[in-house]
Amino acid sequence: MLSKFRVFVINPFWLRFVPVRFVKTKSEIDPKKFKIAVVGAGSWGTAIADLLACKGFQTHLWVFEKEIKDHIQQFRENKLYLPDHQLSPNLSASNDLADVVSHKHLIVIVVPSHVMRNVTRQMAGHLAGGTIITSASKGIEQKTHLTMSGVIKENLPEVEADRMTVISGPSFAKEVAQKIPTSVTVACRNPEVAARVQHVFVTAYFRVYTSNDIVGVELGGSVKNVIAIASGILDGLGMGLNTRAALITRGMTEVRRLGLHLGANPRTFTGLAGFGDLVLTCTGNLSRNYTVGIKLGKGKKLQQILAEMHMVAEGVKTAKSVYNFSRKLGVEMPICHEIYRILYEDLAPKEAVYRLMTRTLKQELDQD
C-alpha cells in the first residue's frame, strides 16, 4: 500500500528534484538484515547484484565459472561479462549454489532460459521459508512452452505463489552498471510483495514500477527478442527506417496476440515491459539479439555467429518456442514464424521480407 507522503531526492542526472514514492514497509527493509542472493553472473546478473550491493545490501552472487568467481573476489570485476566496471565491496561471489541461496529473504534468478530448469532443481530444498523469488530471466522453455516463472514454480514448489515476482523492462546491463537512468517493472500477484521488491531495487537512477500482470511482463520480455533479431536483419540488409518502424509496430501486435490468448492485460504491452523493451532491443547496438540479426542480414550463418559469441542471444531459442507454441495455440505470428524459418530452415532473409510484404491483405487492427 502506497504511503500518502513523498520524499524528494536530488537526481544528479536530471539536475532537478524528482519525487520518489515509498511504501509503508520501506522502513522495514534494513540492508544490514535483509539478505539477498543473485543466481547468475552474466552481464545482467552482475549488474543487478552490483546495484543491490551499492545500496548497502550484502549481496551473494552465484557464479558458474570458477575463474570468474576468483576474478570477482580478487579484482572486484567480472572481466568476461561486465568488463571495466568496479564492483561494490558488498558483493561476494561463490560457486556454491546451495550456500548462496540458503537463508535469504530475496533470491533474484538471472540465468539463461535453457539452464533455468537445471539450476532451479539444484536450488530445491535449500530455500528459507517465506523467501521472495524474482525472475530477471527472459525466455520460453522449448519443450514445455513455460515462461521462466512457470519453470521456477515447477522446480521450487516451496515458494508461495504470491512471493513469485518477475522484473523486466528496457534495461541494458552496461547502462545500469554505469548508473544511467533506467525504468523497469516488477510484477507479482500480491501487490504488497511487488511493492517490497520495488523498494529493494529502486534508486535515484533505477526507477521501478509495479504490476500484477506476470504473464504480460514475461511475454513482453521474451518475444521481443525474436522481433529484435528481425530488426537487426533489416538493418543488415540495408533497409530503411520505414521498414523498421513497421516491423516494431507489427511485432508488438504479435506479442499482444499471444499475450491476450494467455490472459495477459493488453495495457502491459504499451508499457515498459512491452513497447519500452521492444523499442530498446530493436534499435540498441548493445542488444545481442539485434546484433545476431545484423549478421544474418549480412549473410553470415547462424552457427558461425553463435560460435563467435560468449553471451546468450535468447531470441534464437525463443524463436523456436514461439513458433511451436503459437502454432499449437492457433495464434497468428507471421514475423516470428519467418524468423524461425531463417534461423532453423535456412530461409534467405530477403525472401522472408518478400513473404511478409506479399501476405494476404487485411485490416490493421485485430477484432479483439
pLDDT in tens, 263-277: 999 999 999 999 999
343 plus 270 within the same structural domain:
yes
Phi, psi at residue 2, to the nearest 5°?
Answer: -75, 140
Instruction: Select from 184, 212, 240 the last residue of a domain.
Output: 212
Number of H helices, E strands in the chain: 15, 10
227 plus 83 within the same structural domain:
no
Instruction: Select from 189, 212, 235 the last residue of a domain.
Output: 212
Catalytic residue of the set 224, 301, 328, 362: 224
With a pLDDT cut of 70, the percent of the chain lying above it is: 92
From CA 238, how far away is CA 66, in angstroms rounded?
Answer: 42
| Bridge partners, residue 23, by sequence | 2
pLDDT at 94 over 60: yes
180 plus 240 within the same structural domain:
no
In a domain, 5, yes or no: no
Mean pLDDT of the 7-32 span? 48
The three cell numbers locating residue 169: 523492462
For residue 317, indicate whether it is catalytic: no
Confidence grade of residue 28 (pLDDT, cut at 50, 70, 90):
low
In a domain, 195, yes or no: yes
Are β-strands 106-109 and 91-94 bridged in parallel, bridged antiparallel, or unpaired?
unpaired
Q: What is the pLDDT of residues 156-200, one digit of tens each?
A: 999 999 999 999 999 999 999 999 999 999 999 999 999 999 999
- Which pLDDT score is estimated for 367? 78
- Which pLDDT score is estimated for 22? 34
- Domain harbouring 309, CATH code: 1.10.1040.10
In a domain, 153, yes or no: yes
- Domain harbouring 122, CATH code: 3.40.50.720
Instruction: Domain of residue 60: give its range.
Output: 22-212
- Which pLDDT score is estimated for 11? 46
From CA 307, how far away is CA 90, in angstroms rounded?
Answer: 35
Q: Which residues contact 222 (CB under 8 A, 6 or more apart)?
A: 113, 138, 139, 140, 147, 314, 318, 322
In a domain, 10, yes or no: no
Q: What is the pLDDT of residues 207-218, one digit of tens each?
A: 999 999 999 999
From CA 36, how far away is CA 53, in angstroms rounded?
Answer: 9
Q: Which residues contact 296 (CB under 8 A, 6 or more apart)?
A: 229, 232, 233, 236, 302, 305, 342, 343, 349
156 plus 251 within the same structural domain:
no
pLDDT at 13 over 90: no
39 plus 138 within the same structural domain:
yes
206 plus 319 within the same structural domain:
no
58 plus 188 within the same structural domain:
yes
Total count of residues recorded for the chain: 368
Confidence grade of residue 310 (pLDDT, cut at 50, 70, 90):
confident
- Which pLDDT score is estimated for 204? 97
